[in-house]
């Protein structure tokens, strides 16, 4: 149980000793696909850690259709913010597939936190680290998608067979950037990266593509 708990961002920095009382208060359960877990406005008595399977959180539209708000996957928790604050659930939750989860009673965690400030500090530190990790991931993803766009744009100008090719951009860089939905600085940073790698160089107003196959790799890379 402790190992599963440590998979959750909120518990990551907790020691075995810190986790034991949480594990003792919690319960592992397995549910078939499409099991209702709670309804909107139910008191948030528990929060949940998904071990395997997945859960959808949804609202109901006035005509009774589901509007999915979030999909929770293995290793993720849900409802912890409302449960810690002793509020009602703001959404419905149903399993999607057959799903294993740990149900963590919020009152037990609140009690442990009141007795043990160190526990709160460690959980805050864990979540802070996770937030930093995500900010980094998002910058990386945005950067890599910017590279894909620029590579795709350049490839549209060149024919496949030659090894070195010249592109005369049809307008100023700032206009090309905005055409691609990029900030001018992001566009410049992508050009800089491509020059650094020897994929292109700039010759006055022209872009010289040294390695078209590298551009293709950049466009198609994950």
Q: Contact letters (x/-) for its own copies, 62-81, by CB under 8 A? A: --------xx----xxx-xx
Within the chain, how many helices (H) and strands (E) appear?
Answer: 8, 11
- The answer to the question of residue 6 lying near its own copies (CB under 8 A) is no
- The answer to the question of residue 145 lying near its own copies (CB under 8 A) is yes
- The answer to the question of residue 129 lying near its own copies (CB under 8 A) is yes
CA angle 90, 45, 1 (to 5 degrees): 115
Torsion angles phi and psi, residue 87, rounded to 5:
-105, 170
Q: Which of 46, 122, 190, 207 binds its own copies (CB under 8 A)?
A: 122
Task: Give every strand in the sheet of 206-209, ordered side by side.
Answer: 165-168, 206-209, 200-203
Q: Which of 124, 202, 205, 208 binds its own copies (CB under 8 A)?
A: 124
Residues 96-115 that bind its own copies (CB under 8 A): 110, 113-114
Q: How many CB atoms are located within 10 Å of the residue 62 CB?
A: 5
Residue with tokens 């790799």: 217
Q: Which of 43, 88, 181, 192 binds its own copies (CB under 8 A)?
A: 181
Compute CA 97 distance to the chain's CA centroid, rounded to the nearest angstrom: 21
DSSP annotation of 43 reads B
Residues at the contact surface with its own copies, assessed by CB under 8 A: 9-10, 13, 70-71, 76-78, 80-82, 84-85, 110, 113-114, 117, 120-132, 134-139, 141-142, 144-145, 148-149, 152-153, 179-182, 219-222
């Amino acid at each position: 149980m402790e190992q599963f708990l440590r998979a959750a961002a909120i518990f990551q920095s907790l020691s075995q000793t810190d986790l034991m009382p949480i594990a003792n208060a919690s319960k592992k359960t397995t549910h078939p696909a499409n099991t209702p877990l709670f309804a909107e406005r139910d008191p948030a008595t528990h929060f949940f850690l998904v071990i395997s399977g997945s859960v959808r959180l949804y609202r109901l539209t006035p005509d009774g259709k589901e509007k999915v708000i979030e999909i929770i996957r293995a290793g993720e928790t849900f409802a912890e913010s409302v449960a810690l604050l002793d509020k009602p659930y703001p959404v419905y939750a149903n399993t999607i597939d057959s799903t294993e989860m740990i149900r963590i009673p919020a009152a037990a965690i609140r009690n442990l936190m009141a007795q043990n400030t160190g526990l709160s500090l460690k959980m805050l530190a864990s979540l802070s680290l996770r937030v930093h990790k995500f900010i980094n991931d998002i910058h990386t993803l945005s950067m890599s998608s910017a590279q894909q766009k620029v590579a795709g744009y350049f490839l549209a100008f060149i024919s496949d067979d030659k090894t070195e090719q010249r592109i005369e951009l049809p307008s100023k860089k700032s206009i090309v950037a905005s055409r691609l939905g990029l900030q001018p600085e992001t566009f410049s940073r992508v050009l800089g990266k491509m020059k650094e790698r020897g994929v292109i160089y700039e010759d006055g107003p022209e872009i010289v593509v040294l390695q078209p196959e590298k551009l293709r790799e950049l466009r198609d890379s994950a």
